[in-house]
Structure 1
């Protein structure tokens, strides 16, 4: 993992869209609440960032996932390709680096394609009303 070039690491992104949805922590910081509302930069049809190279300056909560920081992001799903590689496991058969098909993740139902709305289409005061999943945070 640490021997990978930046380009090789970046190519691991499977395009699931799960890291680009708006999430909240409860008041006790013990429950992660996920919404079906996507970052304003995410194209909800393709699940690709529309301004990937400038995203960190345009979206303050956006993060740069690296081999050194992957374990800091507990909220990434276990199916995240970065996490899979960090665990030393093989990429799944639907991953584009295995299958050669970037659409297979969507066809197999492992992405959020068709399940997200853009935060540009949801009034800010309604985003919290769109919580769809709670995940307990453990140490």
Structure 2
């Protein structure tokens, strides 16, 4: 029997789609893009609505209304979002790859993503505490990005 998280993304229910999120919080970090190369750089600066302990949005149902550039992932748009982390379950599943062993759906433990060092817990800084012109000073390159 195939587990539901191994099914094609287009076949998932809304609840199953949401459950694929590993809770790393990386999609809620501010990113900078090089105008010449198009390369995307993650910063450790998070959206003000990210709870940096749980790595979940405190305003999830209203996030798109509160944050103009907040992107709602759907089966129709996620493939075009090249900035998603390489460890993101949506990217992995789209490529037919299995979820990582630390993913809560595999481990059965929602804290496994944090213990594995994949989440932004303890590493993110709310945009409320960072001047908008200083985001470049907060670019990060986490070794475990490709775990």
Give me the TM-score of the superposition, normalised by structure 2.
Answer: 0.84
Residue 100 of structure 1 is matched in structure 2 by: 108
Bigger relative contact order (CA 8 A; separation at least 6): 1
1:127 & 1:20 partners in 2: Cα distance?
14
Larger proportion of strand: 1
Measured against aligned partners, the alpha-carbon deviations of 1:37-73 in whole angstroms (never above 9, x if no partner) come to 0011101111110000000111111111111211110
The alignment status of 1:48 with 2:53, answered yes or no, reads no
CA shift at 1:76, angstroms? Answer: 0.8
CA shift at 1:130, angstroms? Answer: 1.6
- Segments of 5+ residues of structure 2 without an aligned counterpart are 1-8, 142-147
Residue 77 of structure 2 is matched in structure 1 by: 69
Give me the TM-score of the superposition, normalised by structure 1.
Answer: 0.88
Moved more, 28-37 or 68-77: 28-37
Three-state SS of the structure 2 residue aligned to 1:35 is strand
The alignment status of 1:127 with 2:135, answered yes or no, reads yes
**How many residues are matched?**
133
1:29 & 1:42 partners in 2: Cα distance?
29
CA shift at 1:132, angstroms? Answer: 2.5
Three-state SS of the structure 2 residue aligned to 1:83 is helix
2:30 & 2:64 partners in 1: Cα distance?
15
